A and B are shown apart, each in its own frame.
Chain A
């Protein structure tokens, strides 16, 4: 098991302004699997991901990444966790504008003071297809290329799990497809574990498994989804919520 959430609750604020973003979420994310977290806007997808990744604390419940209990770690422990076990791909602002693509890819390794594995790096760069862009700065790359650099960066240190929050949210469908295809290949060919948050059924269909969130709870799950099955499930869920359930 790459990551696990046990009865996770997340409450923001207090009193009038209190928002319960997660209500007792139980979820497991297997190794070498591509899991998508789906749900309408505000359903708690990002919150769940932040909690899983140790970026945010949970109000109740426990989180594990690999064998490590994330809940209860201090700043030093969390730093080490992020450094050694977790990779991130965000929706935007993924790259340091002053560094070249290659330097951005190597950044997590250089932060950790580790030497890159040359062969693996070659494979990654080849897979994302950026060999001729390595010396470019983010401003000189298209949005899709930037996200591919971010993917390569997340992969370069071979983390236990990569968390991606709407990685294609800012891309057109073609660039998005490239990135998603690349993520799928890294799971299939290199046994990478990926957890991806998205609200796009097409994006979710690239995953091997989709879990659906609504109102801070897991309400459904799909294995080997297609865009159609995902869309159907979402419609069903919408119908359920509209029916007041």
Chain B
């Protein structure tokens, strides 16, 4: 029995390859994710163990605000230089170096723009000599306050040589330095894991990176010979007392690597998302292939049954086939995944400033999950067809016609039920009553809806395919093609459903994002009362910022009525984290956002006074006159008094404090400014003057209100691009599905095609017939996808109405593009099967069994 199965499997190599491809792709992404993470993870390990090679014990202070609770930048806490003296006196310490080091030293390159970094830090530190891994390549370390040394990575990216002048942005606005040295790291590395590094003299580093003279952010301790780092760590911790974090070099390196590895989770999720889509669509594909195979083998299976094969044996024979496909697909997918992982790791290493890869890693998890995913998906997809195969009666071996098409009642009822359950789940998830499981609930709902609609598709396909097909009915081949596509509604439906999934996804997301964009734009148009806005595009955790002096200078420009500069950060207010904004001018802010007070006054703010929006005030039980402790990113906690509460709005919220408090923000410079012009002043006149003011603040630019709103909402476009890539993948798989279905249908109808050819259908007509069938199927899939996607999108938009998404934007143009695209896809998918059909030898085809 097994032998019979395997033999028939080998006889169908091509269709196996085709139906297995989706699984190959899915498995490829899964294993690729594992390989990428493993390879980069180990590379990070190497980098950091090298970086901390000269450190036996490291000392730092606890950060004022824990970043694990809320997104944001972590600011290293500082401690006085006296701690260094204390550590030096601990027995067993051979030497201790104080470091004044922090992220946020942005070097301005030769093109006047800031060197960017996606991920690796931009470190500014004090020059501590050629310690640890550091090796001077040219020049010397900085000795004067106007001198810096940079690592070779920075020097190359900014095209710097010893003796050049370079501008650096730090906690303070741009300052110019002379490059006196260029350094690298042992092993001939230009940078450690892509990190940019600028070394100042110690006082400058303390002032620019830590914001305070005479403090350090870290101590690097070398143990005397024979002293164990762990013991020394405990001794130092005991000597320093509370408030310090003392770790061995090994711990530090592990921690640092772990931080970066967490960042990798993002890439992982993208890859796994791709895998999910590929596999989900792949299930349709495999299910269809198996259904067709089972239908074609009806006689064969009936024969087996007549000879005494039990139902279980028949199910088994189909599942064995599935397992074989799953295995082959897993192996291929794993191989491809290793390739993809290696490629991505290489690309990542290059973009991250030359991260040296620590050799390709294929963790056992990659292998295990590849096989698990490949096998499970294939077998699941084959279960239904296998059960159908088991229901073939032995007598079918003797009947000429295969079992007639079964009624669609059951499947349609099932479809309706599943769709309803999916819809309910989505509604539940969107209503926000499911707590932590919201995303899962919504995802599950969407998935179930897809499955449900897919089950309903055969029912829908009859009238719709009939209608679509009428477009092609003017010619005989067109008519035949149309009839063929309506011939087996289930097959047409599943093939189309695979295409539906991809198109529905992208249509849904487009509806949501376009609606969000339009709603936010409308709101911003309505609310923001500023003609000009200074801001920049954020690429990493650090928001772009500019020189606060610009605020005063701009306010004095002729034609400018008001300027509200904004500084933003997280803060712990009354024991809970929240967003906090510091502003240079409360009245301007009020005017620009059209804020209105609900209690107290929002006209001005003195030191240690704060405003809060009505929503947050309600949440936290704050009212005017209350005092709350506020801990900012730097310095000690202070007590603030609530002096005003303003009405909550979609665009602006949180705590508001005076600009003086921003000195203790993670980024103590303004990140945005709104300029309101005097009556009669023109934007065209004022804008160039503001541009001039921003010459030394290359991270930001000035835009008029419309451009600004456009910039803000265009951030959503990135998400859309991601989804479109996903769509492309889903479409590719769906095309495979159509090719597969057509190829199988052509095979199935060999006799019929031979007959048609014998009575005079020309080659070209044969090809046209197949093409029409393909186009009808794919346009049907696209229609469904557009409809389902719009439905899903509209449901989400409706659910988000309370959150300010009030417009429903339906992307008609894009839908048209999809339908056109689907027609092209159909034509492309038909090429091979059509050629095959046209090449049939007429005599051979008629004799074909």
Contacts and interface: CB of A to CB of B under 8 A. Distances in A.
A93 B398 CA distance: 8
B8 A84 contact: no
Contacts of A110: 1, 3-4
A88 B7 contact: no
A111 B398 contact: no
A185 interface: no
Contacts of B305: 79, 82
B397 A108 contact: no
B303 A96 contact: yes
Contacts of B11: 97-98
B333 to A, nearest CB: 27
B394 A82 contact: yes
Given A50-B398, A98-B4, A103-B4, A93 B307 contact: no
Interface of B is mostly: helix
A79 B397 contact: no
B89 interface: no
A88 to B, nearest CB: 5
A3 to B, nearest CB: 16
B311 A46 contact: no
Contacts of B308: 79-84, 86, 108, 111-112
B849 interface: yes
Interface string B386-419: 0000000111011000000000000000000000
Nearest to B390: A75
A111 B312 CA distance: 11
A166 to B, nearest CB: 10
B4 A96 contact: yes
A96 B300 contact: yes
Contacts of B243: none
A81 to B, nearest CB: 8
B570 interface: no
Contacts of A55: 306, 393-395, 398
Given A98-B11, A103-B3, A108 B395 contact: no
B395 A111 contact: no
B395 A82 contact: no
B543 to A, nearest CB: 66
A46 B849 CA distance: 22
How big is chain B's contact interface, by range? 20 to 34
A108 B8 contact: no
A41 B609 CA distance: 104
A96 B8 contact: yes
A97 B296 CA distance: 13
Given A93-B299, A96-B8, A82 B307 contact: yes
A165 interface: yes
B398 A165 contact: yes
Interface in A77-110: 79-84, 86-88, 90-91, 93-94, 96-99, 103, 107-108, 110
Nearest to A78: B394
Contacts of A90: 303, 397-398
B310 interface: yes
Nearest to B309: A111
Contact of B310 (A56, A79, A93, A103): A79
Given A83-B307, A93-B849, A111 B313 contact: yes
Contact of A108 (B10, B307, B310): B307
Interface centre among A46, A81, A94, A96 (most CB of B within 10 A): A96
Interface centre among A46, A91, A97, A111 (most CB of B within 10 A): A111
Nearest to B297: A96
B306 A88 contact: yes
A243 interface: no
Contacts of B300: 96-97
B317 to A, nearest CB: 10
Interface of A: 46, 50, 55-56, 75-76, 79-84, 86-88, 90-91, 93-94, 96-99, 103, 107-108, 110-112, 153, 165
Given A83-B307, A110-B1, 6 more contacts: A56-B395, A82-B307, A93-B849, A96-B304, A97-B300, A110-B3
19 contacts: A55-B306, A55-B398, A79-B308, A79-B310, A82-B305, A82-B307, A83-B307, A83-B310, A87-B307, A88-B306, A90-B397, A96-B304, A97-B849, A99-B3, A107-B307, A110-B1, A110-B4, A111-B309, A153-B307
